[in-house]
Structure 1
Amino acid sequence: MLRFAHIEFLWGLVLIPLFMILYLVVRRWKRKALKSLGDRETVGKIIPEVSFSRPGIKFVFFLIAFAALVIGLSDPQIGTKMEEAKKTGSDLIVLLDVSNSMLAGDLAPNRLENAKRAISQMIDNLHNDRIGIVIFAGEAYVQLPITTDHSAAKLFLDNINTNIVPTQGTAIGAAIDMGLKTFDLVSGTSKAMILMTDGENHEDDAVQAAERARKKGVTIHVIGLGSPEGAPVPIYKNGSPVGFHLDEAGKTVVSKLNEDMGKEIAAAGNGVYVRASNANSGLPLVMAQVDKMQKNTYDSKAFKNYEDRFQFFLALCFVLLIVEFFISGRKNLKLSGVNLFEVRKP
């Protein structure tokens, strides 16, 4: 298993595109300056020792060396010894609504991003609890199977958006059933689902699905996202809002929180219902209920010993910088005069 001891240093890789843009701008400026002196053949005769290709080669070496330096500073580590351990905790699955109505702005910046931010904070506070993520709109999909890898959970969470599920709708019952399939119902760990949705236009019998989950020992808590007054649902194009969804009469569609439905599902699932707000995501109250559940022991495998690998990247960086330093920006006139393919007449 690979991990980075100082993963924040990887942000330095963002500078590589900036270096490339700067290089291309300078290169274009130099070409214009040389073009003002005459055509390339004429300029080559005026300054025969100047190479037009070697600066590009030197720049490539510099970029690779910089990338190696950044990776080296982040200290990549490889797990060398895996051990089994006994851990005590619960199994949680977050059922996250990703339908278009989740883009409504009655929670800042919108319902979906507000929920993702709250889930991320919840993951930071998990200890030995395992977590999984199921996303749903018109259909339900497992975004992340049950895992103890909380870092991976946050990475998967970051990639969630309303375009990730092709079919629109709000199939809450299908999401609950998918969550049940994701759980290891044989193990003795306490199990709970956290349903985060605005509950609008749900298409199946979510209450019956919640009852099925309860009978199998799974508690379902519900967090309502949005407001009863509702908000218009924006339309995005290339990441920017270009208007709002309209109904058949040409009026702006207003998405409203369906609290009655959320309360019914929570009651059927033997859980609690909380309405989220900008000040309170509702997850602390739900997690307080989860913490009251009986914690059971489960087997977990994890890498215990990690070995540093930063030295290889720093050595590569050092070698590349030395090579780049000794690549001259001038031509070797002796070598440039050699033509291996020249045919000499006898």
Structure 2
Amino acid sequence: MFRFEHPDALYLLLLIPALAFIHLYLAKRRRKALEEFGNVELLNDLMPNVSFKRPTVKFYILLLAFIMLIITIAGPQYGSKLQTVKRKGIELIVALDVSNSMMAQDIEPNRLERAKRAISRLIDKLQNDRVGFIVFAGEAYVQLPITTDYASAKMFLNSINTDVVGTQGTAIGSAINKGISSFTTQEDINRAIIVITDGENHEDDPVAAAKMAADKGIKIYTVGMGLPKGAPIPVAEGRSNDFMKDKDGNVVISKLDEETLQKVAITGNGAYIPANNIRNGINNLVDELSQLEKSELEAKVYTDYDDQFQYFAAFALLLIILEFIILERKNRRLKHINIFEVKDNKE
């Protein structure tokens, strides 16, 4: 993409037609003055070294140089620069439960929305760390590969809902395993997985997955969304009286399983954060993560647009030098040379 860093400078280009008009006007006046003084062709013979074309050529060369200088001042830029930067940080995977039970409203506005707000606050507090997203219900998927682009992370976070995973359920173990395989291959770096869920695991063994992560040096933190007393699960957004029912017609109550989440956190050498204290819990989590030893991370990032002004500046300088070299008078040594003259061959 081509752009100008200072586009307002391009308004100076409006001076170009005005300068050209002034030059033509003055040239016409000089021509008229010569015609009043005498025959122009006769005057040319009387002034053999005077050139009427060279001043005009010099003017337009200078005018073109002025255009190039204006463009230079405007700061032409093209594309963007991809640079490799080195930072010190850790790698962090956030595994977010998107099962239907996360729509329960025992914490306002609902468990999922509160979880997304907590993740957004967490991202705001990160510095130079890599972060990635896993979404899971009955299965786990990578929503955002690990990155240092926090703006993109927030964009992906906003797009998360219960429809991004087709298989319902709560497979915490699968989310942890997917998180383990989603880190980079860089060695000697501290890593952590934050599992945000209501803890109602029905699919696999999350404690065993946490042990596998701990054996690889990955810490597991769990954030419990919901309350132990539980709440019904809405089956349609905006319909507060329509809740999920079991096969007997009873309303299903989704309850926070703190015991499972605490076991997972303990096994994963991390900590458990309850949803009723999530703001302080996130702050404490960030403090604990900041205490982990930071390793040097390499990341390719897009920086400002790549400047192109130097090409226009060089062209302007070349034109100015050319204008300086061209004399207004005819060259005495070269004025008799005519490469188009055809000489008669005399025998």
Give the TM-score taking structure 2 as reference length: 0.64
Q: Which residue of 2 aligns with 1:127?
A: 127
SS in 1 for 2:229: coil
Which whole-Å CA distance do the structure 1 matches of 2:139 and 2:161 have between them?
14
Which whole-Å CA distance do the structure 2 matches of 1:214 and 1:263 have between them?
15
AA at the equivalent of 1:214: A
Q: Which residue of 2 aligns with 1:149?
A: 149
- Residue 185 and residue 217 in structure 1: after superposition, are their counterparts in 2 closer, same or farther (change >3 A)? farther
Larger radius of gyration: 2
SS in 2 for 1:282: helix
Q: Which residue of 2 aligns with 1:249?
A: 248
AA at the equivalent of 1:148: T
Displacement over 3 Å in runs of 4+: 239-242
User: If each structure's strand is expressed as a fraction of its own residues, which one has the higher value?
Assistant: 1
SS in 1 for 2:202: coil
Which whole-Å CA distance do the structure 2 matches of 1:279 and 1:302 have between them?
32
Name whichever of 278-287 and 241-250 sits farther off. 278-287
Q: Which residue of 1 aligns with 2:296?
A: 297
Matches within 5 A, 1:1-346: 80-236=80-236, 240-241=239-240, 243-277=242-276, 280=279, 282-306=281-305
How far the C-alpha of 1:242 sits from its partner, in A, is 5.6
Which whole-Å CA distance do the structure 1 matches of 2:79 and 2:125 have between them?
24
Structure 2 unaligned residues grouped into runs of 5+: 6-76, 308-347
Name whichever of 270-279 and 222-231 sits farther off. 270-279
Deviation string for 1:253-279 (max 9, x for gaps)?
A: 110000000000001100001101277
Q: Quick check: 1:83–1:304 contact (8 Å CA) kept in 2? A: yes
Q: Quick check: 2:118–2:278 contact (8 Å CA) kept in 1? A: no
Aligned pairs, how many? 234
How far the C-alpha of 1:281 sits from its partner, in A, is 6.4
- Residue 220 and residue 96 in structure 1: after superposition, are their counterparts in 2 closer, same or farther (change >3 A)? same
Which whole-Å CA distance do the structure 1 matches of 2:278 and 2:130 have between them?
27
Calculate the aligned-residue CA RMSD, in Å.
Answer: 2.2
Which whole-Å CA distance do the structure 2 matches of 1:172 and 1:158 have between them?
22
Q: Quick check: 2:93–2:134 contact (8 Å CA) kept in 1? A: yes
Structure 1 unaligned residues grouped into runs of 5+: 6-76, 309-346
How far the C-alpha of 1:184 sits from its partner, in A, is 1.5
Which whole-Å CA distance do the structure 1 matches of 2:94 and 2:222 have between them?
10
Q: Quick check: 2:81–2:306 contact (8 Å CA) kept in 1? A: no
Give the TM-score taking structure 1 as reference length: 0.64
Deviation string for 1:276-298 (max 9, x for gaps)?
A: 12773622222221111111101
Q: Quick check: 2:125–2:286 contact (8 Å CA) kept in 1? A: no
- Residue 279 and residue 186 in structure 1: after superposition, are their counterparts in 2 closer, same or farther (change >3 A)? closer
SS in 2 for 1:274: strand
How far the C-alpha of 1:304 sits from its partner, in A, is 2.8
Q: Quick check: 2:96–2:197 contact (8 Å CA) kept in 1? A: yes
